[in-house]
A and B are shown apart, each in its own frame.
Chain A
Amino acid sequence: MLVSTNVLAVRPTARTLLAENGSVAALVVLVVALSLLSGDFLTVTNLLNVGVQAAVTAILAFGSTFVIITSGIDLSVGAVAALSAIVLAWTAADSGLPWPLATLVALAVGIGCGLVNAALIAYGKLPPFIATLAMLGVARGLALVVSQGSPIEMPEAVSHLGDTVGGYLPVPVLVMALMGVIAAVVLNRTYAGRAMYAIGGNEEAARLSGIAVSRQKLVTYALSGAFAAVAGIVLASRLASAQPQAASGYELDAIAAVVIGGASLSGGKGRAFGTLVGALILAVLRNGLNLLSVSAFWQQVVIGVVIALAVLLDTLRRRSGR
């Protein structure tokens, strides 16, 4: 446990070390406990399975990390994921668009939804909760309208995203890793990322320091939309078809992953790595409870309790840390 945390803590300032160790430690404890409780847990096949289960949530959650760092919230990511995948499958199947173009169109749909969210928030002054709640309805509805309520087959080339490399390494896990790296680079190295922290930390101070707050919110929600589109495509590839009801409620898992990963809903705080750990905790927990034959009903209870505990612990730790 000690070894793993030391390796993973890349930039060791005291606070981030603590915040990360919290969720990393929780993940390690969970893994150890499940290994002891179930012989099937600590096998390569099962762990890769966990990775696949975590992938869609994690990709959505990386996008939500941007938004939550600016002290916003994006409730539309699940619906936007479904709409993007539907648009991909529909343009490829019905309009005969080549799959690379159809994929670009799907990404554009995700980005477009994000831009509309941001415009409502930054220029229309709607609270993010309301703007993205409205988008949740609109995107889900459009997914149903376009698909006429039925699944559409994914183009075969894209469906390979749901396969494995060399027979065992699942592509969704690779996509998750890639998106995680992109999220980390955006947050740590780019102007947009640093501006997100400043806006979430103190929007007025950011504005008075010359950061174009409205424009940066456009970037933030557009990124969230793009990540949602990628998540939707990965999910549809795994299922080999785009479904209008896919990813229902995933926005809440994404938010939970971000928060478990140490971000604060009041903004200014959060990291891609923490979000990854948060998504893994949720996936490991679901997988473990399945292996232990806990009923699906009780699983929901357990996950709810874990979310509350994770954030409670983080709050307590921060309070005592000062």
Chain B
Amino acid sequence: MSQAREILRVEGLGKRFPGVVALDGVDFDLRAGEVHVLLGENGAGKSTLIKMLSGAYQPDSGRILVDGEPVDIRNASDAQRLGIATIYQEFNLVPQLTVGENLALGRPPRRFGFVDTRRMHEQARGMLDLVGVGVDPRTRVADLGIAQMQMVEIAKALALNARVLIMDEPTAVLTTTEVRRLFDLVGQLRERGVAVVFITHHLEEIAQIGDRVTVLRDGRSVAQVPAGTPEEELIRLMVGRPIDQQYPREASAAGEPLLQVRDLSRAGAFSGVSFEVRAGEVVGLAGLVGAGRTEVARAVFGADTPDSGEVLVRGRRLPGGDVRAAMEAGLGLVPEDRKGQGLVLGADIAENLGLVTLRGASHGGFVDRAGQRQAAARVAAQLGVRMSHLGQEVRTLSGGNQQKIVIGKWLLADANVLILDEPTRGIDVGAKVEIYQLINSLTASGHAVLMISSDLPEILGMSDRILVMARGRLVGELEAADANQDSVMALAVTEVEDARVH
């Protein structure tokens, strides 16, 4: 294996976005006929790296070499010419077209200027045979299962003579049998000399499928180890940064339970989730992306309707799927997607802060706008929102200040139980600490906080108790005092066979 030819090499790759360093010196190499696993926490830089290899982003520093020659991958067709194909979690297929049409997209066989449908489907048949999937090329892609779509994507990549196949968490959406079939196929590709970059969060898959592992952490490549490395060692490499004193949690005495969730289930998302959050408590909800944390938060808040189970606030049962009722009971949700779900970007600060209280401030249909403005000014001052005036569009605020506005609208509404979904994602350190202090003052005054975060140090640093989800199930609960990164991570990668998404 070691004498195999090197196809791809990445040296000191760096990429920064406004306010964030996404990659800060990544080295990586890939040989023909190997499966190289990329491992790292959410946000470690895996996606940024593969986006640069597929031409979606340009690196700011460092270089990419293909066959020993430095290359410039400016767009998807450059990547295609170099034989690099990427299979993202969201497939690049047109659902309304047939499998054959998708495989021939952009270059269908023609006869007298018309698409030669018969030849197109024959060619597709050949490509599909190559990956061993028995799908009729005349089937519409929308009618395929997820595993079949994935196989069609792989067939498409191979048809373009891909020598490097990058797969972004291909197993996340597959059942156990489908995973086995995928691994068989990847094994065959390896025999044929195709080099595979494989991203997965499931550590047990690494030894089965991989040859080498490169571990990314905080935008850097921190280690390259053989795939046989013990899982505990891989976890340590993945999360091994020290926790610094950025987490000023001041625990308050826990009071009565404010939020109780009992046996909550929603098909395809999560099942049998039960927990409670007490007054004065911060409960952290940890887990990998896709474990179902956001889905649970949305169902608790009534943004989605659960199939079964109940949510109680101060002992009173909420009707399912009713945001208004959840709000009136004292729940508030700061959603993960700040811009898409939390803010009206084109409206001003006062308007956004007053969104939740708009109804309460209306009498006979008329809004007390002066009162709303005063209340907004008070909360903006309390939160230290850095702005020129209340009439400033929230679009123009920094991420941290935008997040303060989203939290602020719930403060105005005096929500007792706040669900914070990734409250500090994409926010600079200073604003983070301000948000932590805000959480402290909320719990000190008897509020309860449920905090979802993919940032392990944050979960460990700010929670009183930690719930861990894996594949739609609550797999463990840890007291903050007993928890560390390894114990949380070990739970988060728990294999829950029957809970695989179907």
> A residues near B, CB below 8 A?
13, 15, 188-195, 197-198, 201-202, 204-212, 268-269
B254 within 8 A of A: no
The 5 A-B residue pairs with the shortest CB-CB distance in the complex, in nearest-first order:
A201-B344, A191-B362, A209-B355, A210-B327, A202-B344
- The interface residues of chain B lying within 8 Å CB-to-CB of A269 are 346
B487 within 8 A of A: no
Distance between B300 CB and nearest chain A CB, rounded to angstroms: 13
Contact between chains at A208 and B346 (CB < 8 Å): no
- The interface residues of chain A lying within 8 Å CB-to-CB of B341 are 202, 204-205, 208
Chain B, residue nearest A266 (CB): B346
Distance between B32 CB and nearest chain A CB, rounded to angstroms: 46
CA distance A207 to B303 in the complex (A): 8
Chain A, residue nearest B323 (CB): A210
Contact between chains at B366 and A15 (CB < 8 Å): no
A197-B351, A198-B347, A202-B343 known; A209 and B367 CB under 8 Å?
no
Distance between B356 CB and nearest chain A CB, rounded to angstroms: 5
Distance between B237 CB and nearest chain A CB, rounded to angstroms: 38
Contact between chains at B358 and A191 (CB < 8 Å): yes
CA distance A201 to B339 in the complex (A): 11
23 contacts between A and B (CB under 8 A): A189-B366, A190-B365, A191-B359, A191-B362, A194-B367, A197-B347, A198-B344, A201-B344, A201-B345, A201-B346, A202-B343, A205-B340, A205-B341, A207-B303, A207-B323, A208-B303, A208-B335, A209-B409, A210-B323, A210-B324, A211-B358, A211-B359, A268-B346
CA distance A75 to B135 in the complex (A): 45
B367's contact among A189, A201, A206, by CB below 8 Å, is which?
A189
CA distance A197 to B365 in the complex (A): 15
B290 within 8 A of A: no
- The interface residues of chain B lying within 8 Å CB-to-CB of A208 are 301, 303, 323, 333, 335, 341-342
Chain A interface, >50% SS class? helix
- The interface residues of chain A lying within 8 Å CB-to-CB of B366 are 189-191
B255 within 8 A of A: no
Contact string against A for B residues 357-386, beta-carbon threshold 8 Å, 1 for contact and 0 otherwise: 011001001110100000000000000000
B414 within 8 A of A: no
Contact between chains at A206 and B344 (CB < 8 Å): yes
B393 within 8 A of A: yes
Distance between B327 CB and nearest chain A CB, rounded to angstroms: 4
Contact between chains at B367 and A202 (CB < 8 Å): no
Contact between chains at A210 and B344 (CB < 8 Å): no
CA distance A268 to B346 in the complex (A): 7
Q: Which of A15, A197, A210 has the most CB of B within 10 A?
A: A210
Chain B, residue nearest A190 (CB): B365
B391 within 8 A of A: yes
A13-B391, A189-B366, A191-B366 known; A205 and B342 CB under 8 Å?
yes
Contact between chains at B358 and A194 (CB < 8 Å): yes
Distance between A133 CB and nearest chain B CB, rounded to angstroms: 23
- The interface residues of chain B lying within 8 Å CB-to-CB of A206 are 344, 355
- The interface residues of chain A lying within 8 Å CB-to-CB of B365 are 190-192
Chain B, residue nearest A210 (CB): B327
- The interface residues of chain B lying within 8 Å CB-to-CB of A207 are 303, 323
Chain B, residue nearest A14 (CB): B391
CA distance A189 to B364 in the complex (A): 11
- The interface residues of chain B lying within 8 Å CB-to-CB of A195 are 358
